[in-house]
């Protein structure tokens, strides 16, 4: 296998080319075409069941596409699985570990899968970066869930893959791990590693990723830079609660209930003042007011619709 560093930079790090995945008559991924550039920090978003994990499974060679091609740095996953596996570091959602080894033994064993027999310096660096140094000689079954997930990240990075795939890496983990993980992954991205992230924490995607794709029912329904998606779909919201009075007719048609308050879309501060003036004129008394900056969740909800709103609400309740 040629050195990944010799691959022409114009070749996409990841290419999904007209990908279809069927289980029986049902298509869980339906004609997805998507390129992720080398060095990109890319988010793949969607509600549960949208097809994100299925796409990652096909990228990792764990399942085959019913139609279409998946490529990693120009190599076909189906035709050259060994070479593409060396180019990928995948952190799955599930906690999968061998209970009979210590943390260090686990990482040495993983290094051996890639033919790396002198990898202790990098293993020590991974242990330090992921806050695992004091657990290095502990058995895997003795670790907490959060520590096990740190080890899974280290396993995925032990062979220094040019493409890093993170499938819900911070689901259910503590804030400390989230912060240390993103600091380390961002550092690797700045060094040139490509990062593909799926997450239900939309604030993570907004803060970290330069470009975003959104899946709905197995189809790619949005693909653009984070900035462009925010400007196209997100909007600033004015939220308020009335202590007394009734909405004037011109506001009743544009204000919608939102968690016990009323909400409407505004363009700028002048429009906020205009609405407050209309309320005062009508004799309304406002006892609570919030002007909320547009964020990726607003864009996500507009693109995905009511089903996504319900799914995100369930996700928030579970946090």
Question: Residue 26, class by beta-carbon neighbours within 10 Å (0-12 exposed, 13-18 middle, 19+ buried)?
Answer: exposed
Residue 111 domain-assigned? yes
CA distances from 318 to 172, 201, 300 (A): 9, 12, 19
289-308 per-position pLDDT tens digit = 988 777 888 888 888 874 44
Q: Is residue 267 part of a domain?
A: yes
**pTM summary value:** 0.79
| Residues forming a β-bridge with 72 | 14, 75
Q: Are residues 264 and 189 in the same domain?
A: no
Burial of 101 (0-12, 13-18, 19+ CB in 10 A): middle
Q: Per the domain annotation, does 17 fall within a domain?
A: yes
Distance CA 44, CA 61 (A): 18
What are the two backbone dihedrals, phi and then psi, of residue 223, each rounded to the nearest 5 degrees? -155, 110
What's the confidence (pLDDT) of residue 262? Answer: 86
- Distance, CA of 59 to CA of 14 (rounded, Å): 8
According to DSSP, the residues that pair with 225 across neighbouring strands are: 211
Same domain, 266 and 197: no
Whole-Å CA distances, 107 to 147, 165, 182, 295, 307: 14, 18, 20, 39, 41
Q: State which residues form the domain around 243.
A: 236-293
Select the more confidently predicted residue: 268 or 150: 150
Do residues 83 and 192 share a domain? yes
Q: Do residue 265 and residue 153 come from a single domain?
A: no
What are the tens digits of pLDDT across the range 108-141? 999 999 999 889 999 999 999 999 999 999 999 9
- Rounded Cα gap, residues 36 and 41, in angstroms: 9
Is 298 a member of any domain? no
CB 272 within 8 A of CB 303: no
pLDDT tens profile 26-83? 999 999 999 999 999 999 999 988 999 999 999 999 999 999 999 999 999 999 999 9
């Amino acid at each position: 296998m040629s050195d990944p560093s010799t691959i022409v930079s114009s070749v996409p790090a990841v290419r999904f080319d007209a990908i279809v995945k069927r289980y029986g008559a049902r298509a869980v991924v339906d004609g997805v075409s998507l390129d992720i550039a080398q060095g990109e920090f890319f988010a793949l978003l969607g509600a549960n069941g949208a097809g994100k994990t299925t796409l990652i499974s096909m990228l990792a060679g764990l399942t085959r596409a019913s139609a279409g091609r998946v490529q990693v740095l120009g190599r076909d996953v189906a035709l050259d699985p060994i070479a593409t596996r060396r180019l990928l570091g995948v952190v799955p959602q599930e906690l999968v570990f061998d209970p009979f080894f210590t943390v260090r033994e686990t990482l040495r064993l993983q290094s051996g899968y890639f033919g790396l027999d002198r990898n202790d310096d990098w293993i020590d660096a991974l242990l330090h970066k992921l806050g695992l140094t004091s657990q290095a000689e502990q058995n895997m079954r003795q670790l907490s869930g959060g520590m096990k997930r740190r080890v899974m990240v280290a396993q995925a990075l032990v062979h220094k893959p040019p493409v890093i795939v993170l499938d819900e890496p911070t689901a259910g983990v503590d804030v400390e791990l989230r912060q240390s993980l993103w600091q380390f992954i961002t550092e690797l991205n700045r060094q040139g590693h490509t990062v593909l992230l799926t997450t239900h924490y939309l604030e993570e995607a907004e803060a970290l990723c330069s470009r975003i794709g959104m899946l709905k029912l197995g189809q790619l329904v949005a693909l653009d830079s984070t900035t462009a998606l925010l400007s196209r779909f997100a909007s600033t919201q004015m939220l308020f609660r009335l202590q007394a009075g009734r909405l004037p007719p011109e506001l009743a048609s544009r204000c919608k209930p939102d968690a016990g308050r009323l909400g409407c879309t505004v363009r700028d501060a002048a429009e906020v003042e205009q609405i407050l003036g209309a309320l005062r004129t009508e004799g309304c008394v406002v006892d609570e007011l919030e002007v909320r900056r547009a964020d990726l969740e607003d864009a996500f909800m507009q693109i995905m619709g009511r089903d996504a709103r319900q799914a995100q609400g369930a996700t928030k309740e579970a946090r």
